[in-house]
Chain A
Amino acid sequence: MIPAIEFKNITKQFGNLKANDNVSFAIRKNSVHCILGENGAGKSTLMKILYGAYQPDSGKLFVDGKQQNFHTPHDAINAGVAMVWQHFMLIDDFSVLENVILGNEPISGIKIDFKTAQKKINDVITKFNLGLNPDDKVEKLSIAEQQKVELLKILYRKPSIIIFDEPTAVLSPVEVDEFFNIITKLKDSGNTIILITHKLREVIQIAERVTVLRQGKKVYEAEATEIDEDILGKEIVGDSSFEIASETKLETDGEKKVAILEKAGLSSGGYSKLNDINLVLRAGEISGICGVEGNGQNEIVDILLQLLSVENGTAELNYSSVSVVPDDRIKKGMISEYTIGENVITRKMGFEIALKAKLKKLSEILIKSYDIRTPDYFTPMGNLSGGNQQKAIVAREIENQSELIIFSHPTRGVDLKSSLFIHDEIIHVRNSGRAVLLVSSDLDELFKLSDRLIVLYNGQTVKEYEPLELKSRLKDAESFTVEVGKLMVGAGIE
């Protein structure tokens, strides 16, 4: 059978760095194919080539057996290749329907034919069980729902090959299951799915075939039946010993309270965003906030950063300095046009003269100690791979030595090995006596790092596990996961 896609000796170079180095492999029609690899291995680059956003320096690309040279994403779309971007490109003020038909409006006479559009969209929504309402405004939707709108936009144009670049990084476990149901439906209706993820458990769950890239080269290929998490883990990092000296949490008393939110409430644009938030952050302690994204996490962070102020209740902020790794690295975390060193300079408090040598040194420190993979010191951060951008931001904020550090999804898009490294750094920060707030939708991460766990649902802290309680509950992680998972979606409250 002719493969849906075949890469033949694809090479793509940025400066001296080979992002894709003579990559060849095929993707079966109507299959779910996972592409794995460390941060900076070249996964997104390869997908951008398939999607027409980059042109390869050499090599050939076949789609449905036909050689293709996509010059723009438009060419790729016409050939049936579609990509769901990790960064949503939706207009907040528009409804789901308006976002979907934008740029592709069905016309009758001189008017947009909303009736036909509505019908077509409703058909797609039912067929794939997306559970969206076409009339809802995008700004009201959760991250997972916005992702579905992105998907809907694509399905409306009837592609045959759909690329997802790290779609699950922003989803909570429940939402991931839901997402995989959709993937299965897409496959059942004849589509070919390409999926990039760093979560090996998900690969085992959904993939039919996997390809592993390492430093631009294809190093491994296998059927789902031949793999397990160990094999994949080893293939991804290569032969180099895959060990991280784990930092252990020291006993700290966690007595000094650096921030106290009491019955805090907040609304915006007529919606209540937070009500009844009780939260105490203590020096030398990691407080984990767990919840589905969009349940008030960002508002809490913004209050701690003094970007928002509470309307009800009280917020007592006693720290002298605060750092933050925000949830959305592109929008909030960095100046894409700046290099790593320039981002550091921008972040610094006082006045500094920033000559080239100094910027290089600032970049160098972070690149070395956090193993950031980049073509060179002066590559703008926008040109780093997603995971490496994240590492650079984490590094920058930790180096800032603030009294309180907020980590919002600190390992989002970061590969396994680097995630472990970042976890270690977070523990290190805690051990040095600083206060840490950890916001995440990854329960494993929260369970591993938190001294204290707060479950957030619908703008309320619905449950707080004190350090001792948490410790004992974690002994039976499985049943604890189920309990927390239920609390996160509002089950068992009142």
Chain B
Amino acid sequence: MIRLPRSIALPLLALVVLLALFPAYGPLLFPAKHAFLMQKLAGIMILAMLAMSLDLLVGVTGLVSLAHAAFFGLGGYGLALLSPEYEAANLWLVLPATLAGVAAASAVVGWLSIRTSGIYFIMVTLAFGQMGFYLFNDSKGAGGSDGMYIMVTPSLEIAGTALLRLSDKMTFYYVVLALFVGVYFGLRMLLASPFGRVVAAIGVNENRVRGLGFDPDRYKLVAFVIGCTVAGLAGFLAAMQYGFVNPSMLSWHHSGEALVMVILGGMGTLFGPALGAFVFELARYGLESMTEHWLAAMGVFVIVVVLALPKGIAGLLLRLARPRDEGDGS
């Protein structure tokens, strides 16, 4: 399933266009709430990146990781810790340094966890995730349970002139949109590559892949590092958006939410988990404003969707696009 059917690709494109035009029509449709909604949408796109990166692990490679939010949080803390207190951090340095740190941390965690599988992998990643949480929660240098502020938004300059003013809400919105679309196509490209084919096959039948001459552990480790690094990028953006990080970013609850987005959206499809992030967050926003028991309502909502759509939203869309899969055509 490399290429999406047109009947899915076009509506998805339309959604992206709607997102891209939001800064234009938002003020007309929601005069009072426009700024808030634009921020909300940027936040959802960041979570969609997190969900897509988790899909690479869970849906494609078959690695159900509960440490994913820890790498998201690490990306955020990377920015917070590397930013000077009263001036703007240099994005050219801070972003690569943060991502390299996240990649290195995930390589260590992955190397230690990938030798286990199934329920044990889930438990080991849960343990690593919580270690990350308490590392920041208990550390004085990183603000402990209160977290840290990023006083000045990082700057992106070439020879002293600013390329982008990231503190500008609209600029930031478009940067996030571009990265959101970029992460999607980047992961698609990855899945179509020789590496991606091996990794996708591992998700289906690891032993057969081994029998064909590939060492599954090496491929799983690289997939793990790539997925976690993208999560780190999402966390970095989240920290930039809110100007604030705290340990809850790393907690396993947050990993669990990302997992729900992936399952809700449809595992292994990339676009599904991105949609899952939107549906999950918009449902949360809607229910939150309707009832104070929104957590329970949210639970009911998730259960109903998962029961009704065992392969998630993407599974439903794919079924509608190809009513009877006779297998012909690619």
B and A form one assembly: no
